[in-house]
Amino acid sequence: MTRPPVIIVNFKTFAEATGERAVSLAKLCEDVSEEHDAGIAVAPQAPDIFRVSSAVDIPVYAQHIDWIQAGSYTGHVLAECVREAGATGTLINHSERRLSLADIDSCIRAARRTGLMTVVCTNNIATTAAAAGLNPDFVAIEPPELIGSGVPVSNANPDIVKSSVEAAKRVAPDVEVLCGAGISKGEDVRAALALGTSGVLLASGVVRAKDQRSALLDLAGGVSRA
Amino acid sequence: MTRPPVIIVNFKTFAEATGERAVSLAKLCEDVSEEHDAGIAVAPQAPDIFRVSSAVDIPVYAQHIDWIQAGSYTGHVLAECVREAGATGTLINHSERRLSLADIDSCIRAARRTGLMTVVCTNNIATTAAAAGLNPDFVAIEPPELIGSGVPVSNANPDIVKSSVEAAKRVAPDVEVLCGAGISKGEDVRAALALGTSGVLLASGVVRAKDQRSALLDLAGGVSRA
Amino acid sequence: MTRPPVIIVNFKTFAEATGERAVSLAKLCEDVSEEHDAGIAVAPQAPDIFRVSSAVDIPVYAQHIDWIQAGSYTGHVLAECVREAGATGTLINHSERRLSLADIDSCIRAARRTGLMTVVCTNNIATTAAAAGLNPDFVAIEPPELIGSGVPVSNANPDIVKSSVEAAKRVAPDVEVLCGAGISKGEDVRAALALGTSGVLLASGVVRAKDQRSALLDLAGGVSRA
Amino acid sequence: MTRPPVIIVNFKTFAEATGERAVSLAKLCEDVSEEHDAGIAVAPQAPDIFRVSSAVDIPVYAQHIDWIQAGSYTGHVLAECVREAGATGTLINHSERRLSLADIDSCIRAARRTGLMTVVCTNNIATTAAAAGLNPDFVAIEPPELIGSGVPVSNANPDIVKSSVEAAKRVAPDVEVLCGAGISKGEDVRAALALGTSGVLLASGVVRAKDQRSALLDLAGGVSRA
At residue B102 the predicted structure's pLDDT band, cuts being 50, 70 and 90, is very high
**Residue from the list D101, D167, D171 with its beta carbon closest to the beta carbon of B101:** D101
- Both C5 and C78 in a single domain? yes
The per-residue pLDDT of chain A, averaged, comes to 93
Q: What is the pLDDT of residue A157?
A: 84
The C-alpha atoms of residue C39 and residue C29 are separated, in whole angstroms, by 9
For residue C80, what pLDDT is reported?
Answer: 98
For the beta sheet containing A61-62, the strands, ordered from the edge strand earlier in sequence to the opposite edge, are: A39-43, A6-10, A199-202, A176-180, A138-141, A117-122, A89-92, A61-62
Dihedral in degrees, nearest 10, Cα atoms C195, C200, C204, C210 = 90
Render pLDDT for D102-147 as a digit per residue (tens, 0 to 9): 999 999 999 999 999 999 999 999 999 999 999 999 999 998 877 7
Is the pLDDT at C1 greater than 50? The verdict is no
- Residue A64 known to be catalytic: no
pLDDT of D29 > 80? The answer is yes
The closest of C55, C58, C52 to C17, measured between CA atoms, is C52
By the 8 A CB rule, do C140 and C122 touch? yes
Considering only CA atoms, which of B68, B93, B91, B94 is closest in space to residue B81?
A: B68
Question: Can you tell me the mean pLDDT for B78-90?
Answer: 98
Whether A98 and chain C come into contact, CB under 8 Å, resolves to yes
Helices (H), chain B: 20-36, 49-55, 79-84, 101-114, 125-132, 153-156, 158-171, 186-194, 204-207, 212-223
Strand order in the sheet with B6-10: B39-43, B6-10, B199-202, B176-180, B138-141, B117-122, B89-92, B61-62
Is the sign of the CA dihedral D212, D214, D217, D218 positive or negative?
A: negative
Q: What is the mean pLDDT of residues A16-45?
A: 95
Residue C2 clears pLDDT 70, i.e. is over it: no
**Binary contact (D134, B132; C-beta < 8 A):** no
The whole-number pLDDT of residue A225 equals 54
Whether residue D71 contacts residue D51, with contact meaning beta carbons closer than 8 Å, is answered with: no
Please indicate if any CB of chain C lies within 8 Å of the CB of A154: no
Q: How far is A112 from chain C (nearest CA, A)?
A: 14
Q: What is the 3-state secondary structure (H, E, C) of chain C?
A: CCCCCEEEEECCECHHHCCHHHHHHHHHHHHHHHHHCCEEEEECCHHHHHHHHHHCCCCEEECCCCCCCCECCCCCCCHHHHHHCCCCEEEECCCCCCCEHHHHHHHHHHHHHHCCEEEEEECCHHHHHHHHCCCCCEEEECCHHHCCCCCCHHHHCHHHHHHHHHHHHHHCCCCEEEEECCCCCHHHHHHHHHCCCCEEEECHHHHCCCCHHHHHHHHHHHHCCC
| D226 has a pLDDT exceeding 50 | no
pTM listed for this prediction: 0.94
How sure is the predictor about B222, in pLDDT bands with cuts at 50, 70 and 90? Answer: confident
Q: Pinpoint the alpha helices (H) of chain A.
A: 20-36, 49-55, 79-84, 101-114, 125-132, 153-156, 158-171, 186-194, 204-207, 212-223
pLDDT at C183: 86
Looking at the complex, does the CB of residue B51 fall below 8 Å from at least one CB of chain A?
Answer: yes
Is the pLDDT reported for residue B225 higher than 70? no
Question: Among A20, A84, A96, A142, which one carries the catalytic annotation?
Answer: A142
pLDDT above 90 covers what percent of chain B?
81
Contact D140/D93 with Cβ under 8 angstroms? no
- Report the distance separating Cα A169 and Cα A109, nearest Å: 20
Domain with D175, as residue range(s), is: 6-223
Q: How far is CA D212 from the centre of its chain?
A: 18
Residue B167 lies in a domain: no
Distance CA C180, CA C195 (A): 13
Is residue D1 pLDDT above 50, yes or no?
A: no
A residues 160..199 contacting C (CB < 8 A): 167, 171
d(CA D81, CA D10): 19
Closest alpha carbon to D150 in D126, D122, D114, D183: D183
* CA distances in angstroms from A57 to A34, A53, A132, D177, listed in the order given: 10, 7, 29, 58
Q: From A16, A79, A25, A18, select the one nearest A55 (Cα to Cα).
A: A25
> Each residue of C189-219: pLDDT tens digit?
999 999 999 999 999 999 999 999 999 999 9
Instruction: Taking residues A37-57, report their average pLDDT.
Output: 96
**Residues 6+ away with beta carbon under 8 Å from A57:** A30
Query: What pLDDT score does D225 carry?
Result: 54
Nearest CA in chain A to C122: A102
For the stretch C45-88, pLDDT in tens is 999 999 999 999 999 999 999 999 999 999 999 999 999 999 99
Please give the residue that has the higher pLDDT: either A169 or C158: A169
Amino acid at C125: I
Q: Which residues contact C184 (CB under 8 A, 6 or more apart)?
A: C150, C152, C202, C204, C205, C206, C209, C215, C218, C219
* pLDDT higher than 70, residue B131: yes
Contact D141, D164 (CB under 8 A): yes
Question: What is the pLDDT, as a whole number, of residue C225?
Answer: 54
The CATH number of whichever domain residue D180 belongs to comes to: 3.20.20.70
B155 lies in a domain? no
Q: Which amino acid is at A66?
A: D
Report the gap between the CA of A47 and the closest CA in chain B (Å).
4
Count CA atoms closer than 13 A to D83's CA, side-chain side.
15
* Three-class SS of A98-124: CCEHHHHHHHHHHHHHHCCEEEEEECC
C-alpha C52: how far from its chain's center?
A: 16
Residues C102, C186, single domain; the answer is no
Separation between Cα atoms, residue B71 and residue C128, nearest integer Å: 35
Q: How confident is the model at residue C144 (pLDDT cuts 50, 70, 90)?
A: confident
Mean of all residue pLDDT scores within chain D: 93
Other Cβ atoms within 10 Å of D178 Cβ, number: 27
Nearest residue on chain B to D168, alpha-carbon basis: B133
Q: How many CB atoms lie within 10 A of CB B207?
A: 23
D102: enclosing H helix or E strand: helix D101-114
Radius of gyration of chain B (CA): 16
Residue A226 has pLDDT above 60, yes or no: no
State the chains in contact with C (3 or more Cβ–Cβ pairs under 8 Å): A, D
Terminal CA-CA length for chain C: 19
Q: In a mutagenesis test of the A interface, which of C94, C96, C98, C101 is the best target, namely the one with the most A β-carbons within 10 Å?
A: C101
Q: Which residues contact C54 (CB under 8 A, 6 or more apart)?
A: C86
Which of C129, C137, C128 has its CA nearest to residue C107? C137
Residue D1, in any domain of the structure: no
Instruction: Tell me: pLDDT of D34 over 60.
Output: yes
**Residues in chain A, total:** 226
Asked if the structure places residue A149 within a domain, the reply is no
- The number of distinct structural domains making up chain D is 1
User: Distance between CA atoms of C213 and D66, rounded to whole angstroms?
Assistant: 30
Q: For B125-152, what is the mean pLDDT?
A: 90
Q: Is residue A30 pLDDT above 80, yes or no? A: yes
User: Which residues 6+ apart lie within 8 Å of A17 measured at CB?
Assistant: A11, A25, A44, A45, A207
Q: Which member of D94, D96, D166, D187 is catalytic?
A: D94
**From CA C205, how far away is CA C211, in angstroms rounded?**
10
d(CA B26, CA B44): 9
| pLDDT value of residue D148 | 73
Answer yes or no: is A193 within a domain. no
How many Å separate Cα A205 from the centre of its chain? 13
Let me know if residue C144 belongs to a domain: yes
Give the pLDDT of residue C147: 76
C-alpha span between D213 and D219 (Å, rounded): 10
How many other C-beta atoms are found inside a 10 Å radius of the C-beta of residue D170? 13
Chains near D with 3+ CB pairs less than 8 A apart are B, C
Angstroms from B1 CA to nearest CA on chain A: 31
